[in-house]
Amino acid sequence: MRRDVDFDEPNLSRRAFAAAAGGGVLAAASDPAAAAELREGPAVADTDADPVSEAFTPRSWLAVGPFQYQRRGVETGWLFPAGGEDAFAAGEGDTDAPLQSAFAAGATVGWGAVEASDGSVPLEFSDRITPTEGLMPLVDADGLTDDLQDWFGYGGVVYSAGYAITTFDLDAPRRAVLETDATAAWVNGSRYDEAPAGLTLQAGTNVVLVKNTVTLGAGSVSVSFRPPRAPVEVNDLAPFRGTPQNAVLPDLRAGESLDRPASVRVTNTTAEERDVTLTFAPESDGLLTVTTETERPLAPYETRRIETRVRTDGPVVLAGDGDGEAAAVDAASPDAGGEGPPGLAMTSTAVGPDAVDADRSGGTTGAAADFPVASSPVSVLARVTADGVTAERSIPLRVRAEEETRFQTTFVSDVDGSVQEFSVREPPNPDSEGPFDLVVALHGANVPSINGVGAYTQRENTYFVAPGARGPANYDHEDLGRVDDLDAMAEMKRRYDIDENAVYLTGHSMGGHGTWHVGLTNPDRFAGLAPSAGWTDHETYIVVPFERDKLYTHPRLKSLAETSLYKNLALPKTENAADGTLPTFVLHGGQDTSVPSVHPRTYVRALANRGLTVRGEVGRRYSNPDPDEVDAALLEVPGQGHWWDADIGEGADTVNHPDLMEFLLSTTRDPYPEHVHLFTTNLRVEHAKYWVAVPEQVRVYDPTRVDARVTDDGVAIETENVAVLELDATVFDERGGPRRALVDGESVSLPDGDTVYLDFRDDATRATASDPTTAAKGPDQYGPLKEVHQDRYLLVYGTAGSDAETEAARDLANLRSGRLVSRARAPATVVPDTAVTEADAASNHLVLFGRPETNSLLAEYADDLPVAVGDGEVTVGGETYEGDLGVSFVAPNPESDRLVQVESGTSADGLRLTGARDWTPTQTPTADYLVFDDRVRVEGWNAMLAAGFFDKSWEHDPTLGFARRLTGSGGETGDGGDAPGDGGDGVTHYQVDFVAGQPIENLGEEGLYADQDRLMRFAFGSADEGITEKDTAWPSAEIRDCVDYGHIVEDDGTASVTFTVADDCEAVTLSLVAYSMPGDEFSTDTANDQELLEAATGTYGPGEHTITVTLPAPGSD
């Protein structure tokens, strides 16, 4: 329902704002000193402050919007050029200045006064979304939504952003807890992404800025400040469709005992560390008391998930009159989530013209099968005690009657040690002798796992498991979601007798997307796939054409972002089905407007292009659902939408269609297939398939392929970008044949042993029974930055600086922690640097927040890290950048086999910039290192001064990165200039350039190789010390396509480079040129003083060649 909000006045003056904000003032409008105080960071909290007396919401606000939706990743802001989010949050924003919005007529919007009601601030802007003044409004206008979608993309129409700001005065500091559903909130300059958040409001004026996503231009944001209930609180359960999100709990089952892990989310509302004891005290018969003490205290204001257990003292007995009905919850009717036909348990089908598909909008449409846990008569009392003060919350537990066949259970993740959940549908014969088939059913967006598994009907000898995937829509079954899917599958195999060769993957909508993604990423885990209504990827599903990363970013920077996300694209991974080991049945409604049929057709077409047999049919039934007849089958059912049931079979046909199930369950996995084709780019994501594995690549992030086939003569193998190949020699026993290999055309005898390694390095193929891998990047560690979340980690803030610097670093750690606690359901423990032990560093990745001057661990590791952060400057790859810069990078811990991920800055302001990046969601591009300035909130990736990936030895490689040359010979490329510089120290210095074409006689006068896109490699040194530094440049694409070259190598007074000319390049002129240098530092002012010492030039055809020049001898002038 729309609110009556007056936006007639497009801009509100500071004076009007002060009046609208209930008597407060925007401090910096008239007091620059106050603004500076806020800008320097929040004041250290007053631990002796009294709490606010009661909950309150400031009544009068200013609101502005709408602004365009942006993808996950860099937190772009819209309050420019009026100062930006940080300026408004600190009280400096100019509310008189118009703000740019592509949605609004005239391209600008202004702040307007609104009134909060019942704790909610209206963000109503739908009347502003007009392509031209006076045109029809967005909603309830035939055809206009389609027009706007053409212009803005679906994501741009459905989603937009709005802000609200207010001030209020207090006569003294007051402790409070912020409750809000905002996507981001700032109070006195500090940012909060997750509620509840403890804080101390300051005496005098307090500034509150909130931002929220609105749908179709309209929405609201709830904001309130309340008294803390205790020093440490148990968070609200936050049930979604009946399943708590802030507590991970197993279901109880009548007649069975239970001892399973659980977790509860708690918040430290104070500015002090708090040791916490969590007790699960039974409120119902049959439960046992479980007490857990936290290993580490909660940091000030930290939110954490604390692990515990739910235990019974014996088999669960249902209360009631003995008629067998479950007294707890959902045994009554399908609409209540009972055991009848599952109906619309996973629905995301639109029920009206204004409904928005759940996968896209975050809403749920249709009649959903919810599970009201609050109605359960069985509960535990979660009691958290800190410093003698206790807070309690009653937590109901679902109870399943004996005849119920689905339930939610919990486990401890192998990935990060967190407590996660999945839901199970038992077969009608669970007590039969196994093994059983296992169908892994991936849930759709905004569908809890218990609802998801409830959509599937029972099948003889078959278990269904719906992994939680870290939440109903948190990871799209990518990244941690994909890992969680595999985690749950592994846990099912531990608990039940599962046939390893009868594990199948299916899912609907987002789960259909996950079926493609997980199945093609980890193809050897499954006998077959069956995606239903599955979309391809974010780029094609939620289209956002006016994305800032697209509009602003340099193409080479874009390529880095795309490289980091390439692992998430499923279409390239259809190559993993090319060997015919992954039979696939694709089901889709012919009138699916949420996920149009072009999505599955694109996949099926890609499979056909890979050489597979594909047959698509239109109708209610598929003519011959036999995986022996076709590799991939597509059935489009006319007249059916996104979620549908046409009474073709038992249960909802969209997931239980009889032809889908017949095809899927007819497939069998062969653990040693005759033909294996592996495609990957990131070895941490996937490096193995059946009996082949790649422990080391030649070049990281490049496409890596292995095609291996058993023949009468052994195995025939072709490779691309493989440095070391691992073979499971059992294949020779299983398939027969001699232990020989024809590898890239070369015959190789294989040694005895269960595992054989083929080493392709040093231009030869060596077979060995021992692992020759030497690269540091591989299946265990690879990067990029967000990889640290896929193992156990600690978030470590620096305490060696001032109180303000400590608080700023801790705020950043809490910001990351809150995001991970919410999205990943992880503990995400925050600790000070002084509390980290050697054992901690040996068993955890460390995420370090602060600068070397303020974080003692960063200072300790600094000399051994590939990025040097200093006061006012940062150096990476030999290039130094100055200013207030944010710095983020990941590298091996110099003192353990774990990783360190550094969040730092060249100054306090630079450090705060790192909070603009949120790496917890999927589709968030990251690299191994990033250096960026304050444009990051406006231009996203284009703010990067340097970004890239380290090579497989975790060393800087300019060909894997991007660097802005701010001084010297210039160019936003990986080149290093043409000379080291001018020092005038009397020593003979030189440079050596490997270039395309003829040499330049007089550098400076005739130009520079880098400016002509001819420079490939360069090195510099001195006659006394030899070559001291070498690096890679970035020549034209034509040169890169023709010539593959190594580094310049010094040997016995000469410099040489070895290179290979491609077969399709007939004649390529190349030169190796040595120049004298007037000093040891490069300057364009002295390029004219460099003298050509020697040049070697030739024209080369296909094949390998070496070119050499003589270097100045020691003692020469």
Judged by DSSP in three states, 671 sits in coil
The rounded percent of the chain whose pLDDT value lies above 70 is 84
User: DSSP character for 415?
Assistant: T
Read off the DSSP letter of residue 74.
Answer: B
Rounded CA gap, 146 and 153, in Å? 9
pLDDT tens digits, 1032-1066: 777 887 898 899 888 899 888 899 999 999 988 98
Average pLDDT over residues 137-158: 53
Say whether both 74 and 209 belong to one domain: yes
Number of domains in the chain: 5
CA distance linking residue 981 with residue 958, whole number of Å: 20
Q: Which residue has the higher pLDDT, 985 or 380?
A: 380
pLDDT of residue 1109: 93
Read off the amino acid at residue 488.
A
Average pLDDT over residues 592-598: 91
Tokens in use for 627? 């995986």
Is pLDDT of 819 > 80?
yes
pLDDT score of 654: 97
Q: Is 908 helix (H, G, I), strand (E, B) or coil?
A: helix
Looking at residue 147, its pLDDT comes to: 54
Of 329-338, 950-959, 978-987, the range with the highest mean pLDDT is 950-959
Which residue type sits at 154? Y
Predicted pLDDT of residue 150: 56
Q: Examine the domain organization and report whether 793 and 725 are in the same domain.
A: no
- pLDDT surpasses 70 at 596: yes
Which whole number is the average pLDDT over 713-740? 94
The residue that leads in pLDDT, 690 or 366, is: 690
Query: So what's the pLDDT on residue 978?
Result: 36
Q: State whether 127 and 174 are in the same domain.
A: yes
Q: Measuring CA to CA, how many Å separate 22 from each of 55, 186, 477?
A: 16, 18, 46
Residue 56 lies in a domain: yes
Q: Do 1045 and 897 share a domain, yes or no? A: no
Greater model confidence, 582 or 93: 582
Considering only CA atoms, give the Rg of the chain.
31
Tell me what the mean pLDDT of segment 135-141 comes to.
45
Judgement on whether residues 747 and 803 belong to the same structural domain of the protein:
no
pLDDT at position 162, please? 93
**How much is the average pLDDT of 122-130?**
80
pLDDT for 997 beyond 50: yes
pLDDT band at 364 (very low <50, low <70, confident <90, very high): very low
Last residue of a domain, one of 380, 401, 422: 401
Taking the C-alpha atoms of residue 91 and residue 207, their distance in angstroms, rounded to an integer, is 6
User: CA triplet 238, 469, 842: central angle to 5 degrees?
Assistant: 100
Least confident of 468-477, 526-535, 706-715, 862-871: 468-477
CATH code, domain carrying 248 = 2.60.40.10
Q: Are residues 91 and 186 in the same domain?
A: yes
Q: What is the DSSP track for 277-334?
A: EEEEEESSTTB--EEEE-SSPBPTT-EEEEEEEEEBSSSB---SSSSS--SSSSSS-G
Report the distance separating Cα 727 and Cα 741, nearest Å: 10
Do both 67 and 179 map to the same domain? yes
Peptide bond connecting 396 to the previous residue in cis, omega within 30 degrees of 0: no
Rounded to whole angstroms, how far apart are CA atoms 1059 and 418? 50
Each residue's pLDDT tens digit, 381-400? 999 999 999 999 999 999 99
Same domain, 238 and 377: yes
CATH number for position 917: 3.30.379
In a domain, 255, yes or no: yes
**Token representation of residue 504:** 């199948």
Low-confidence winner among 370-374, 403-407, 564-568, 824-828 (lowest mean pLDDT): 370-374
Structure tokens belonging to residue 676: 């294996």
Range of the structural domain that residue 61 is part of: 14-227
Query: What single letter denotes the amino acid at residue 954?
Result: W
Reported for 868-876, long-range contacts at CB under 8 A and 24+ positions apart, including other chains, are 869/902, 869/904, 869/905, 869/906, 870/906, 871/906, 871/907, 872/906, 872/907, 873/906, 874/906, 874/931, 876/929, 876/931, 876/946, 876/956, 876/963
984 has pLDDT over 60: no
pLDDT of res. 921: 78
**Separation between Cα atoms, residue 1044 and residue 1062, nearest integer Å:** 8
Selection from 377, 258, 397, 373 nearest residue 319 by Cα? 377
Q: Please identify which residue in the block is written with the tokens 């049929």.
A: 597
What's the half-sphere exposure (Cβ side, CA atoms, 13 Å) at 583?
A: 23
- Statement: residue 895 has pLDDT above 90: yes
Say if CB 673 and CB 621 are below 8 A apart.
no
* Tokens found for residue 795: 């978030």
Q: Are strands 159-170 and 108-109 parallel, antiparallel or unpaired?
A: unpaired
**Residue closest to 568 by CA, chosen among 530, 609, 518:** 518
Give the model's confidence band at 1085: pLDDT under 50 very low, under 70 low, under 90 confident, else very high.
low
Note whether residue 996 is domain-resident: yes
Helix (H, G, I), strand (E, B) or coil at 718: strand
644 inside domain: no
> Judging by beta carbons within 10 Å of its beta carbon (0-12, 13-18, 19+), is residue 4 exposed, middle or buried?
exposed
Of 971, 1005, 1010, 1006, residue with least CA distance to 993: 1010
pLDDT at 725 exceeding the cut of 60: yes
| Residue 226: its H or E element | strand 218-226
User: Token pair for residue 67?
Assistant: 């602004």
Nearest Cα to Cα of residue 619 among 657, 656, 655, 593: 657
Q: What's residue 190's pLDDT?
A: 93
Query: Is a pLDDT exceeding 70 seen at residue 209?
Result: yes
Question: What confidence tier does 767 reach under pLDDT thresholds 50, 70, 90?
Answer: very high
Which of 925, 945, 963 is the last residue in one of the domains? Answer: 963
Hey, what are 772's tokens? Answer: 């020759």
Same-domain status, 161 and 265? no
User: What CA–CA distance (Å, rounded) separates 927 from 551?
Assistant: 20
Single-letter amino acid code for the residue at 704:
T
Q: Distance between CA atoms of 225 and 936, rounded to whole angstroms?
A: 31
Residues 197 and 315 reside in one and the same domain? no
DSSP 578: T
Residue 596 lies in a domain: no
User: What is the per-residue pLDDT for 635?
Assistant: 98
Evaluate whether 604 touches 536 at the Cβ level (below 8 Å). no
Question: CA–CA separation, 466 vs 473, rounded Å?
Answer: 13
Mean pLDDT of the 1011-1040 span: 83
In this prediction, residue 153 has a pLDDT band, given cuts at 50, 70 and 90, of low
How would residue 127 be classed by pLDDT, with cut points 50, 70 and 90? confident
Q: Provide mean pLDDT across the span 406-429.
A: 96
Position 1116 scores a pLDDT of 58
| Angle subtended by helix axes 510-521 and 480-495, to nearest 10 | 80
Q: Is the pLDDT of residue 51 over 80?
A: yes
Cβ atoms 1104, 1046 nearer than 8 A: no
Q: Say what the pLDDT of residue 303 is.
A: 96
Question: How many other CB atoms sit within 10 Å of the CB of residue 64?
Answer: 29
- Could you list the beta-strand ranges (E) of 34-139: 50-51, 60-68, 99-100, 108-109, 112-115, 120-124
Range 197-220 average pLDDT: 93
Of 172, 192, 227, the residue that ends a domain is 227
Task: Tell me, yes or no, whether 489 lies in a domain.
Answer: no
Average of per-residue pLDDT values in the chain: 85
Residue 172 has pLDDT above 90, yes or no: yes
Distance CA 675, CA 669 (A): 13
Question: Is position 586 within any domain?
Answer: no
Is 498 a member of any domain? Answer: no
1008: its two tokens: 């520079």
Ranked by mean pLDDT, which of 173-177, 984-988, 991-995 comes out on top? 173-177
Q: What percent of the chain has pLDDT over 90?
A: 64
Per-residue model confidence as pLDDT tens digits over 252-262: 999 999 999 99
Note the pLDDT of residue 918.
82
What pLDDT band is residue 108 in, cutting at 50, 70 and 90? confident
CA pseudo-torsion sign 404, 406, 408, 414: positive
Residues 71 and 167 grouped into a single domain:
yes
Q: How many CB atoms lie within 10 A of CB 857?
A: 23
Q: Which region among 328-337, 482-491, 872-881 has the lowest average model confidence (pLDDT)?
A: 328-337
**Alpha-carbon dihedral angle through residues 236, 240, 241, 243, given to the nearest 10 degrees:** -60
Residue 749 CB-density burial (10 A; 0-12 exposed, 13-18 middle, 19+ buried): exposed
Per-residue pLDDT of 439-472, as tens digits, reads 999 999 999 999 999 999 999 999 999 999 998 8
Are residues 758 and 816 both part of a single domain? no
Residue 125 predicted with pLDDT over 50: yes
Number of C-beta neighbours around residue 766 at 10 A:
13
Token pair 């330049």 is at which residue?
Answer: 1000
E runs forming strands in 687-817 = 688-689, 692-697, 704-711, 714-720, 722-728, 740-743, 746-749, 755-759, 766-768, 793-797
Regarding pTM above 0.85, the answer is no
